[in-house]
Chains A and B, each alone.
Chain A
Amino acid sequence: MLSIVRERLRQGHRTGKFPKVEPTLSDRFRGRPQLHSGLSPQQREQAVAACPFGALSQGEQGLRIDLGRCLFCADCPAAEQGALSFSGNYRLATRRAEDLCYSDEVYRLADALNERMLKLFGRSLKLRQVSAAGCNACEADLNVLNTLFFDLARFGIQFVASPRHADGLMITGPVSENMRSALLETYAAVPEPKLVIASGACAIAGGPFRGSEEVCNGVGDLLPVDLYIPGCPPHPITALDGLLRLLGRR
């Protein structure tokens, strides 16, 4: 018993100060991409062709990026060509799929739920997590939110064991053909009104497996999504930031 107390003293108090204090991330962390202006049409074309996941396209005002498709690759070929660079900005979550796309500085972060939903879920949100062919990175970094540093429960958010106890689904993975019906059945088991959160590039648009005949390219065509959290996997702070925005806490 004494040794437990002694160890507890050594380990100290580790709960993080987020959201009151901004987190310190690695200087190599890759956050929201900034598109560079002044590229020739040919350079833009090259950049669009270079992304293996089709995250870039030609917009009216130059390049356009879709964060639902972006994997924030360390060796992003478009970045190597000078078309974009990664900032340290971890705030990425949006409410609508179209908000994930931008061509200038304006990026519309997630709004809070409407008044009725906030009244229901604002102080207590129970989520059922469904991994639908997620690679266990998204899952692991959502699990991390339960550890004492992030301490998700202090915000009234909790992962629960049954869809019957849940207010919504937190979905990861590109939704394999073999998980499709289990996902839809789990959704059906959640009582109304309910939320759907797509966490990670796979759940949003199929991620690295987009186009495989065995995946559905994410949740989009199957269920109505209320919150998109980009990243491969999203940093836990990105996910937490998104959840707090949804609940009107940021």
Chain B
Amino acid sequence: MSGAQPVCLPVGGCLPLAELPRLDYERFSRLLREAVQGGARVVSYFARPETDGLTLYAVLLADGDGRIALLRTTLGESFSSLSPELPQLQLFEREIAEQYGVRPEGHPWLKPVRFHAGWTGAPDVWQREAGRHPLVGDMAYYRVAGDEIHEVAVGPVHAGVIEPGHFRFQCHGEEVLHLEISLGYQHRAIEKILRGGPHPATVYQMETAAGDTTIGHTWAYAQLLESLAGVQVPQRAQVIRAIGLELERLANHVGDVGALAGDVGFLPTSSFCGRLRGDYLNLSAEICGSRFGRGLVRPGGVSFDLEDARIATLQQRLKVLEPETCGAIDLCFDSPSVLARFEGIGTVSAQDATALGLVGVAARACGLARDLRQHLVPAVWTAAFAQPVLEEDGDVYARGNVRRREIVASLALLGYFLDQLPAGDTRVPVRELAADSLAVSCCEGWRGEVVHAAITDRDGRIDRYKIVDPSFHNWSGLALALRGQQISDFPLCNKSFNLSYCGFDL
């Protein structure tokens, strides 16, 4: 194998590791750069200690055809950082530095990501004391100096009923010059405890990797095991998963639009959507007994079937919910006072979004056609999914409006799926996983793409598991959106992204 080109894989595919050439770092970075110039983006980037040394894997995806490209190389104690040229790698490189104690030389923003001790016992890149748990949030923050410059620190415990994180604003009066977001408070070591798995507890840890994206993460996990085991999931199970995924999207999008309205003091939409969100969660509970879709998706299929009577109930309830949802949401988007607060706030340019590798709602609000539902494996999608919903302006309004339009599209998709549920089994057994293989799986969760990758050892156990939640890419987008904004607009901007803390912290 020459290694002149990256090795390709379809979404949800799997590959024996021996077929993936080990490139030298120079060639690896050249191919990576070329792929990104050619329109691909990095969806996962992780390291694994191997007999040949610490091995770095890059997973690229081209949105046009949905092909996945893979590259690997070996790292020494340090390597030359690619972040200055490819900012979308900056967090991935910091993550690898934190986990394995290798230094990305020339990284412009080399700070800890999750504040945990290294995984291998290698010396810490930040010279933090060995044998002690690092102090969360202990790092050099970016400071702006000058007359009348002040700093505002918020969190980890916030005012609302939300997850913890730390935010530092550098302000001049009301104007935010820079926002730095420091996370890690939610770190539970999910990837680390998965080694040697799958364990009996693993699927439940996937369901709670980001609890509001239960279906998205469990789908990616299930797809990964299925491809490693060479199992085809029955059509009926695929459609039931799709129903779960769209219900998850609906509940969260409806809740988000309500929260956006609430943040600008438009209470009718805020109250109506708060109730409607619960009604969509109850539809998930109708299917699997859990409002968050717990227990629905399992490797090999789904654990609940939909009888005709249940389908009819769902259809009937959706028929009532649809006009109520659209009515509640349109009210806010038809109000000039609301639009005046949404438009031109928290803008991210398409250029910055591309450079940072934003995904999901935040990317589509900048006009980037990034929606993995275009390429998802089950044929049900290709039949039903039209086009990604795109907006151009990249502001709070655009992110809100992407959600509004996706709510309508999701309702149509759900109607189609419930109408066309194919007959057949809902689950097939998943047995041994292929040994010494690499698999990548993706799912378009409600926030954006959820990408999982796994490498098995020679016994077919999981040796390295990598989770990329959409929030991993998008927190940088929020930081950028705040530049030049008033600090009082932070809640609104934050809500318009609505990112996951635990999905980032893992």
Contact = CB atoms under 8 A, between A and B. Distances in A.
A179 B115 CA distance: 11
A224 B238 CA distance: 46
Interface stretch (B60-68, B286-294, B390-398, B434-442): B286-294
Given A135-B208, A141-B291, A176 B188 contact: yes
B156 A182 contact: yes
A130 B334 CA distance: 36
Interface residues of A, number: 65
B502 A8 contact: no
A10 B327 CA distance: 9
A42 interface: no
19 contacts: A3-B331, A14-B275, A28-B286, A133-B505, A135-B209, A136-B211, A137-B208, A139-B161, A139-B163, A144-B281, A146-B161, A148-B271, A161-B159, A161-B160, A173-B186, A176-B187, A178-B187, A179-B164, A208-B204
B189 interface: yes
A91 interface: no
Interface stretch (B93-101, B193-201, B371-379): B193-201
A208 B296 contact: no
B74 interface: no
A232 B289 CA distance: 12
Interface stretch (A33-41, A112-120, A212-220, A241-249): A212-220
B1 interface: no
A10 B276 CA distance: 13
Contacts of A4: 268, 331
Contact of A176 (B157, B185, B272): B185
B189 A214 contact: yes
B156 A7 contact: no
Nearest to A163: B157
A162 B186 contact: no
Contacts of B290: 30, 74
A51 to B, nearest CB: 9
A76 B82 CA distance: 46
Given A208-B201, A215-B189, 4 more contacts: A11-B275, A136-B162, A136-B501, A202-B208
Given A178-B186, A182-B157, A74 B204 contact: no
A212 B271 CA distance: 39
B139 to A, nearest CB: 13
Contacts of A178: 114-116, 136, 184-187
Interface string A137-165: 11111111011110000000001011100
A37 B501 CA distance: 43
Contacts of B277: 144, 147
A149 B164 contact: no
Interface of A: 3-4, 7-8, 10-11, 14, 25-26, 28-30, 52-53, 71, 73-75, 77, 128-144, 146-149, 159, 161-163, 173-174, 176-179, 182, 186, 202, 207-209, 211-215, 232-233, 235-236
Interface of B: 114-116, 133, 136, 156-157, 159-164, 184-190, 192-193, 199-201, 204-205, 207-212, 214, 255, 268, 271-272, 274-275, 277-278, 281-282, 285-292, 294-296, 298, 303-304, 323-324, 327-328, 331, 334, 500-502, 505
Interface secondary structure of B, over-half rule = loop
Nearest to A182: B156
A179 B116 contact: no
Contact of A148 (B160, B275, B327, B500): B275
A141 to B, nearest CB: 7
Nearest to A173: B186
Contact of B187 (A148, A159, A207, A214): A214
A147 B274 CA distance: 6
A123 to B, nearest CB: 22
B502 A134 contact: yes
B445 to A, nearest CB: 13
Contacts of A149: 275, 278
B268 A136 contact: no
Nearest to B208: A135
Given A7-B268, A7-B272, A235 B291 contact: yes
B237 to A, nearest CB: 14
